[in-house]
Amino acid sequence: MAGQSDPHVSLFSAEEVEFIAEDEMVEIVPNMTIERLNFISGDFGPFLPLTVNQVPLWLAVALKKRGKCAIRPPHWMSVENLTKVLEEERDSQGAFQALPFHYVEISRLLFDHAREDIPDIYLVRSLIEDIRDVRLHKVETSLEKFSGTSAVKIPNLSAMEVNIIRPFVGRALQAFYKHDNPEKIPDIDRVSSGQSRVANSEPPRRPLRR
Amino acid sequence: MASYYDIDDILTEEELVPVVFHKAANGVIIDPSSETNSVEQGAKVELPLWLAQELHWRQAVSISAPPCFNQKTRLEIQADAACVDLRSRCPYFYEFGCKILPLVGDKTIEILLLSAFKIRYKETLTKAYTAAYTATSKVLTLLTREETNLYEAAQSSMAAFKKWRMGGPRLQRASVLGRKRKPVN
Amino acid sequence: MHGRKAYQLVKEFASGEKGQLKPFNRELFGRVLEECNEHHGALQSLIRKMQEEGLDVQTARNADHYGALIHHLSLTRNKRCLMAYMYNRAEIIRVLAWKVGLLHELPEEIQEKLSDSEEEYFKDHAKTLKSYMSQMGLDVNVDMVPPKDPYIKVRVLEDVGGGIILSDKSANFARHSMHFLKRTDAEQYIARGLMEELTS
């Protein structure tokens, strides 16, 4: 990953997480006949007008941009479902509601490219933003509870949410581990070389590490 | 184990520690109170950690806890860990502490480090994800290097996410080029 | 204090913005090297003194031994600082290939910060990458951001002159002119700040 050389950037960039999300399948309704398409990732089609097809999101967006199809918003993106999720998200303090792993990226791509295919788009968009904010706030609250070396389990966290907190959580856990168990991570190189030097009083030789 | 090339590790080892020489050493000017270019046995000197620890392992010096782990700092941390200016005491407070521990054999430093980190971690977290704190905020000047790294990790991934959410050009000028120069007209 | 100059060198590296390169500090680097020589000289003269006194250098633990030890430790400390300075700069330089591309020479604002050997290092690294890519028949130096569309709209920000190599068309790239280019062609010009991507 491009970010790897820079410890300050998450392992994946948001664009890369989005790229991975583009492999998720969505339903499209073509408005014309298109022959079978052969790609490295698989064969799709043939497409007939008004016949529902399952395609990866990237293909759906590409066809949509060229005016060849409508995208069917996934069921979880209905106002009804999102309202329910938001309520439950607000009610349950610790737990996260089950949403698609890539809900942030999928919804963003659909808002960008298929706005006319989403009924009540403004409401849907603000519901998703509210859900995301509530969840991010919850993540922060649960991170505050860290107090030592214990396994951290946060079920139902989505790809983008994980990606946002990864650089911080990784470092924080490492620090907790280090200060919680100093004896577990002995400075092997130093300790052993130090002792051997004392023991036989050799002239100082510093082993070149790496 | 930090890497040989680790910049932070190198900087941590430059922190000064008080030592007492058990052996004399000739031909070195490291004791400012000495008039000759040598160190007497029993001389009390402040040495950077990299030198002190090696001499300690060879039983040439004994090390005592540096001022940043003194009673005053401990009391301040116990009183209100979040508000203590650790950076001015030692920019690498935690790493330095971990390195000093085995040299001075003081187990209470270990407890001090963990309890300070636990409390200050929460503060760092809240600040990192709250937009109200900008890079110039005064509270950030209290953070040690380790804490600043944490803070920056949280901030930069959040900023990257927000940028993605806003959309806009995906390809951009490489940041390694530094600030944009004025185009020559 | 021993090792102070070497520390300043490392400190200078660390004080820069992350991922940014500062000009190679020839002067300070040279002074640390000088200091290394001084330590070496002092170390040798102490050892010689012990030998002249008929002591076994391997086992004798007198004041000269500890003096020599301190010089030795200072020498290895200086070495570590010098190595870390070189190594961490080299890491940034290696990453440059992915940040600004290999199609052209390094931009001037970076080139002037490199030492001669660093310039050489980048050139060799670029050469190796290019030969790897030509063997593979694959340009791995593009699409640093996951691609969307094969063509993008760009605006020329600075006079690019005639050096532009495009795979499928030629145009007059006057400053402020706008073009519809193959993304892979435009990428490096954008990375170098010569063009900017326009979004509708």
Give the separation between CA C65 and CA C167, rounded to whole angstroms. 68
> In percent, how much of chain A has pLDDT > 90?
61
Instruction: Give this complex's ipTM.
Output: 0.89
Q: Is domain B8-64 annotated with CATH 3.40.5.50?
A: yes
Per the CB < 8 A criterion, the answer to whether C148 and C187 are in contact is: no
Summarised one tens digit per residue, pLDDT across range A178-197 is: 888 755 544 434 443 333 33
In this prediction, residue B33 carries a pLDDT of: 78
**CB-based burial, C77-113: b 16+ in 10 Å, e otherwise:** bbbbbbebbbebbbebbebbbbbbbbbeebbeebeeb
Which residue in this structure is represented by tokens 């700040």?
A: C193
Structural domains counted in chain A: 1
- The answer to whether the CB atoms of A8 and B156 lie below 8 A apart is yes
pTM > 0.90: no
Q: Letter for the amino acid at B46?
A: E
pLDDT at A16: 94
A163 within domain boundaries: yes
Identify the contact set of chain B against chain A, taking CB-CB distances under 8 A. Answer: 1, 3-5, 53-54, 57-59, 94, 98, 101-102, 110, 113-114, 117-118, 121-122, 125-126, 128-129, 146, 149-150, 152-154, 156-158, 160-161, 163-165, 167, 170
Is residue B116 within 8 Å of residue B77, measured between CB atoms? Answer: yes
* Alpha helix positions (H), chain C: 4-15, 26-52, 63-100, 108-111, 116-136, 183-191
- Min Cα separation C136/chain B (Å): 25
Instruction: Identify the CATH number of the domain in which residue A118 sits.
Output: 1.20.58.1020
Does residue A59 form part of some domain?
yes
- Tally C-beta pairs within 8 A across A and C: 26
String of DSSP letters for B136-172: T-GGGGGS-HHHHHHHHHHHHHHHHHHHHHH---SS-
**B67-165 classified as CATH 3.30.70.660:** no
Which stretches of chain B drop beneath a pLDDT of 70? 1, 131-137, 179-185
Backbone angles phi, psi at B151, to 5 degrees: -60, -45
Per-residue pLDDT tens for C93-132?
A: 998 888 888 877 888 889 999 999 999 999 999 999 999 9
Domains B8-64 and B67-165 in one fold: no
Rounded Cα–Cα distance for residues B184 and A13 (Å): 34
Cβ-Cβ contacts under 8 Å for A28 (sequence gap 6 or more) = A47, A52, A53, A55, A60, A63, A64, A69, A70, A71, A72
Query: What's the domain range around A131?
Result: 2-183
Which residue in the set B38, B167, B175 is minimally distant from C63, CB to CB? B38
What residues does each domain of chain B span?
A: 8-64, 67-165
Q: Give me the pLDDT at residue C5, please.
A: 96
